[in-house]
Homo-oligomer: A and B are copies of this chain.
Amino acid sequence: MSRFSNVAIVGGTHGNEFSGIYALKQWQSNPAITARDSFSTEHVFANPSAYSANKRYVDCDLNRQFDPKLLADYSLANYEQSRAKALNQQLGPKGDPRVDFIIDLHNTTSNMGPTLILLTLDMFNKQLAAYISERMPDAIILVEDHIEPIQHAFLCSVGKQGVIVEVGPQPQSVLRHDVMESMQEMTTHILDFVHLFNIDKVPALPKSITAYRYKETLHLPQNAHGERIGMVHQHVQDKDFQPIQPGEPLFMCFDGTELAWQGDYTAYPHFINEAAYYDNNIAMSMANVFTLTV
């Protein structure tokens, strides 16, 4: 695997996720923090208009616009569709990009702690995951490899490699000290690892770690008119990445009915009650747990 020459740290892909935006400001005023000898680091503010509007996005979710088909469709011309094309030009183009590694910084209102989201499980990502897990025992490794990286619609899929640093819980438009520190810590470890990888000095790593793999998305209960008729049950609220068995309560309907987890497997819910997903009536994602062999 070739070395990484150009690393981009991206913040503000969603305009009301403040940790990445304020982390960028700090790093821009003190570039030494994110500089490493073996690569160049650039800082990219992805969605400044959404930040100015204090919203996740102006017209549509920027972090769903990097599917190659969408990038190639010039009839898609609203603000985020245009930003995606500009960022693809700036960092990519996707498939043959200038930037070797993208770290995209995100917050969630869900209680996910510091989560590293990987789009694929190649040797580099496995070692990175093990390196992070060892240094941040509370960190979650979440793999979203249900589609090929090139087909992903996430911003970080534009680079040769890319990861998402997702830290919660933090309400939209709030800056929490603890969440900020957690995001900076994980980002620093990632930069350190890329540097060690570049100079062929990856330290001894754990042989295996616990990781989670995205499996499916669950929606809030609705009636025939598409109106929400229930909410996430307090039995699972805040319990991201804790196991839930078939039959355990998942939703509380407003009429008092409890709805149970109907799957046929032990699931690890995450993005539980994420504010931004209400647009699509999404309640949470479900994952499997697995042992990642490094």
Contact = CB atoms under 8 A, between A and B. Distances in A.
Interface of A: 22, 25-26, 54, 109, 169, 171-178, 180-181, 231-234, 237, 252, 254, 273, 275-276, 278-279
B231 A22 contact: yes
A235 to B, nearest CB: 8
B278 A176 contact: no
A188 to B, nearest CB: 15
11 contacts: A22-B254, A109-B171, A171-B172, A171-B275, A172-B275, A173-B278, A176-B237, A176-B273, A178-B234, A180-B231, A181-B234
A231 B178 CA distance: 10
B178 A237 contact: yes
B177 A232 contact: yes
Contact of A233 (B22, B177, B233, B252): B177
Nearest to A19: B231
Contacts of A173: 172, 275-276, 278
Given A173-B276, A176-B234, A177-B234, 9 more contacts: A54-B279, A171-B171, A172-B275, A173-B275, A174-B275, A176-B231, A177-B232, A177-B233, A180-B231
Nearest to A109: B171
A214 to B, nearest CB: 21
A12 to B, nearest CB: 15
Nearest to A177: B234
Contacts of A181: 234
A4 B254 CA distance: 29
A25 B109 CA distance: 24
Nearest to A227: B25
Contacts of A254: 22, 25-26
A233 B22 CA distance: 15
A26 B228 CA distance: 12
Nearest to A220: B175
A276 B276 CA distance: 16
Contacts of A169: 171
